[in-house]
C-alpha cells in the first residue's frame, strides 16, 4: 500500500486552515488510503500554530513543523518535503483556491508511473491585473528559462520520493522549487484545474516577493542576464564607433563643429546608467554566490510534532 504526503505551507492562514482540513476530509481522505498531512508554519504571526495543533488532535495522520522564523514558501515546502514519509508528496496551498479533489487526479497519475504531476491552471477566477502580470511572468520563463513551463502557470505539483531526494541534494535557497522540479527531468504529467478566487484572508504575496521570484528564476536557471550584458555592451560599442566616424566625416567634409558639453553629458549619463545597471546584475550573482558559499541551511526547524498514528 503506497502512502501520500500532503505538504501545506502556512503563513498567516489562521482563517482558512480549519476550512481547508474539513474540505480535504470531506473530499479526499477516505479515498486516498494511507496518507500524511504535513503543515509547515513559516513564521506566522497569528494563531495558525494553535489551529494546526487543534487539527492534529482531530487527526492522527497530521505532522506539524514550525520554522524558527519566516524563510519563504520555497524553504517551507522544502522543510515539509524533508520530513514527510510518503512514497510521494503533493504540495497544497492553504488559501482554498485549489479544489482538494485535484489531489486524487494527481495521485492516480502518479500510480500510472509518472514521477512528476503538475497542476496547471486552466482558468483563473481572479482580477485581470493579477492574471496579466502572472501571464507575463510565465511568458518570460517560457522564453528565457524553461520552454516547458505551462503558459498559464503551475500552482502545485505531486512528486515521487526519487524527486524529493533530488531536491534535498540540490539544497538551493534563492531559487524556484517549481523550476527545480521541472529541471529534474523525470517523467511528467499535467492535470488541469480551474483556480478559484480567494474568499478568505489576505494574500501575503507582496510585490517585493514577486520581483524576487523573477530574479531567482532568471539567475538560477538561465544565463540570459549575463548574455544580455554582453549584447548591450557590444551594441553600445558599435553605436559609439559609428557615431565617432559620422562626427569625423562631417567635420572634415562639411566643417561641422563638434558639439561639446550637452552631447558629452548625455553620453556620459547614459553610459553611467548602463554601467550601474550591469554592476547591479553582477551584484545579484555575487550575492547569490556568497549566500551559497556561507552554507547556511535554507530553513531551521524550531518544533516538530510527529503523527500520533
Q: What local confidence, expressed as pLDDT, does residue 80 receive? A: 93
Look at 111-120, 259-268, 291-300 and tell me which has the smallest mean pLDDT. Answer: 259-268
- Distance, CA of 29 to CA of 104 (rounded, Å): 9
Percentage with pLDDT > 70 across the chain:
91
In the beta sheet, which residues pair with residue 188?
Answer: 116
Strand-strand pairing, 116-124 and 188-195: parallel
Quick one: 253 exposed, middle or buried, by C-beta within 10 A (0-12, 13-18, 19+)?
A: exposed
The pLDDT value given to residue 87? 92
pLDDT bin (cut points 50, 70, 90) of residue 297 is confident
Dist. CA 163–CA 278, nearest whole Å = 36
Q: How far is CA 283 from CA 37, 68, 220, in A?
A: 40, 29, 14
Q: What pLDDT score was predicted for residue 164?
A: 93
Range with lowest mean pLDDT among 14-23, 27-36, 130-139, 263-272: 263-272
Specify the pTM. Answer: 0.78
What is the mean pLDDT of the segment spanning 173-188? 84
Arithmetic mean of pLDDT over the chain: 83
Average pLDDT for 9-23 = 90
Other CB atoms within 10 Å distance of the CB of residue 289? 10
Domain 3-221+297-305 fold is: Spore Coat Polysaccharide Biosynthesis Protein SpsA; Chain A (3.90.550)
Q: What is the reported pLDDT for 63?
A: 94
Instruction: Give the C-alpha separation, 35 to 21, whole Å.
Output: 13
Q: What is the pLDDT confidence band of residue 259, given thresholds at 50, 70 and 90?
A: low
pLDDT tens-digit readout, 66-85: 999 988 888 899 999 999 99
List the chain domain ranges: 3-221+297-305, 224-293
C-alpha closest to that of 183 among 139, 145, 140: 145
Most confidently modeled range among 55-59, 249-253, 286-290: 55-59
pLDDT of residue 254: 74
Check whether 262 has a pLDDT greater than 60: no
Amino acid at each position: 500500500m503506497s502512502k501520500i504526503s500532503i505538504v501545506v505551507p502556512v503563513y498567516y492562514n489562521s482563517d482558512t486552515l480549519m476550512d481547508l482540513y474539513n474540505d480535504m476530509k470531506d473530499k479526499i481522505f477516505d479515498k486516498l488510503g494511507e496518507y500524511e498531512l504535513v503543515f509547515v508554519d513559516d513564521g506566522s504571526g497569528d494563531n495558525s500554530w494553535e489551529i494546526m495543533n487543534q487539527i492534529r488532535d482531530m487527526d492522527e495522520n497530521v505532522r506539524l513543523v514550525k520554522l524558527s522564523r519566516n524563510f519563504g514558501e520555497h524553504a517551507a515546502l522544502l522543510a515539509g518535503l524533508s520530513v514527510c514519509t510518503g512514497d510521494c508528496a503533493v504540495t497544497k496551498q492553504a488559501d482554498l483556491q485549489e479544489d482538494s479533489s485535484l489531489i486524487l487526479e494527481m495521485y492516480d497519475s502518479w500510480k500510472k508511473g509518472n514521477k512528476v504531476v503538475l497542476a496547471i491552471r486552466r482558468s483563473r477566477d481572479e482580477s485581470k491585473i493579477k492574471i496579466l502580470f502572472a501571464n507575463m511572468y510565465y511568458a518570460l520563463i517560457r522564453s528565457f528559462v524553461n520552454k516547458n513551463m505551462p503558459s498559464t502557470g503551475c500552482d502545485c505539483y505531486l512528486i515521487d520520493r526519487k524527486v524529493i531526494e533530488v531536491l534535498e541534494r540540490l539544497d538551493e535557497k534563492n531559487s524556484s522549487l517549481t523550476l527545480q522540479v521541472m529541471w529534474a527531468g523525470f517523467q511528467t504529467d499535467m492535470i488541469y484545474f480551474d483556480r478559484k478566487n480567494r474568499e478568505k484572508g489576505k494574500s501575503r504575496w507582496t510585490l517585493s516577493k514577486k520581483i524576487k521570484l523573477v530574479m531567482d528564476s532568471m539567475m538560477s536557471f538561465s544565463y540570459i542576464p549575463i548574455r544580455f550584458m554582453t549584447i548591450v555592451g557590444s551594441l553600445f560599442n558599435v553605436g559609439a564607433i559609428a557615431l565617432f566616424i559620422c562626427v569625423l566625416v562631417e567635420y572634415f567634409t562639411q566643417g561641422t563643429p563638434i558639439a561639446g558639453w550637452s552631447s558629452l553629458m548625455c553620453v556620459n549619463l547614459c553610459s553611467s546608467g548602463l554601467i550601474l545597471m550591469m554592476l547591479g546584475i553582477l551584484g545579484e550573482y555575487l550575492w547569490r554566490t556568497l549566500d551559497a558559499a556561507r552554507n547556511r541551511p535554507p530553513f531551521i526547524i524550531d518544533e516538530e510534532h510527529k503523527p500520533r498514528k
